[in-house]
């Protein structure tokens, strides 16, 4: 399935308070996610600056899927939209063996607990990411005239929630975990 995803992501300072407020306005779902990221050896995604492609295998308590994202950030690192292709599968170990045999290398595993709410034509996710802390992702969930209109809507919704956030992060969890482990300091 292909779609254009439009989302904002920020480190979050007031996760507990925000969770309490969101529970008052919408029911939530919670899931554990284990995301394993791969790069093909014939085209190393990590060599691009900024990194604009990710191939992820996601494991949850109930399902498995594979996802490829190609971010629209070729000229700068502040992309909020990407082309996304995703499909489910049944056997995570078989898929990982297929990828390894096709010369894809596992580069990082990101584990998190994610809590989701639907609110005001958005999907709001509060993530507790192992080794990184709390984040909020807010994703457009509806039809918008343009990416810019969706971006304004996301910022307005975020502001209305009184989320205490740090500076917006455009790099993604796999990059941040790799960075924390010193991957990009290797020369």
Per-residue confidence (pLDDT) for residue 71, from 0 to 100: 86
Per-residue confidence (pLDDT) for residue 32, from 0 to 100: 98
Nearest-CA neighbor of 51 among 187, 176, 182, 180?
Answer: 176
Place of tokens 């529970």: 23
Q: How far apart are CA 104 and CA 96, in angstroms?
A: 9
Per-residue confidence (pLDDT) for residue 74, from 0 to 100: 63
Per-residue confidence (pLDDT) for residue 48, from 0 to 100: 85
Per-residue pLDDT of the chain (187 residues; tens, 9 = 90+): 345 788 999 999 999 999 999 999 999 999 999 999 999 999 999 998 888 899 999 999 999 999 999 988 766 657 678 899 999 999 999 999 999 999 999 999 999 999 999 999 999 999 999 999 999 999 999 888 888 899 999 999 999 999 999 999 888 899 999 999 998 886 5
Per-residue confidence (pLDDT) for residue 163, from 0 to 100: 92
Tokens of 13: 């300072």
**Contact, 173 vs 37, CB < 8 A?**
no
Q: Which CATH number fits domain 2-182: 3.40.50.10490, 3.40.50.970, 1.10.260.30, 2.40.320.10?
A: 2.40.320.10
Tokens of 53: 């492609």
Per-residue confidence (pLDDT) for residue 143, from 0 to 100: 87
**Contact, 142 vs 123, CB < 8 A?**
no
């Amino acid at each position: 399935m292909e779609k254009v995803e439009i989302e904002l992501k920020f480190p979050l300072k007031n996760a507990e308070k925000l969770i309490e407020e969101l529970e008052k306005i919408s029911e939530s779902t919670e899931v554990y996610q284990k995301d394993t990221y791969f790069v093909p050896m014939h085209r190393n995604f990590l060599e691009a600056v900024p990194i604009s492609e990710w191939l992820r295998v996601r494991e949850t308590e109930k399902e498995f899927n594979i996802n490829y994202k190609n971010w629209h950030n070729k000229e700068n690192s502040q992309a909020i939209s990407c082309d996304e292709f995703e499909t489910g599968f049944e056997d995570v170990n078989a898929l990982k063996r297929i990828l390894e045999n096709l010369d894809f290398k596992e580069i990082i595993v990101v584990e998190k607990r994610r809590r989701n709410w639907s609110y005001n034509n958005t999907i709001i996710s509060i993530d507790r990411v192992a080794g990184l802390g709390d984040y909020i992702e807010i994703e457009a969930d509806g039809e918008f005239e343009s990416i810019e209109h969706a971006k304004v809507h996301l910022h307005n919704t975020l502001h209305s929630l009184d989320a205490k956030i740090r500076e917006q992060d455009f790099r993604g969890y796999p990059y941040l975990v790799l960075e924390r482990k010193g991957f990009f300091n290797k020369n």
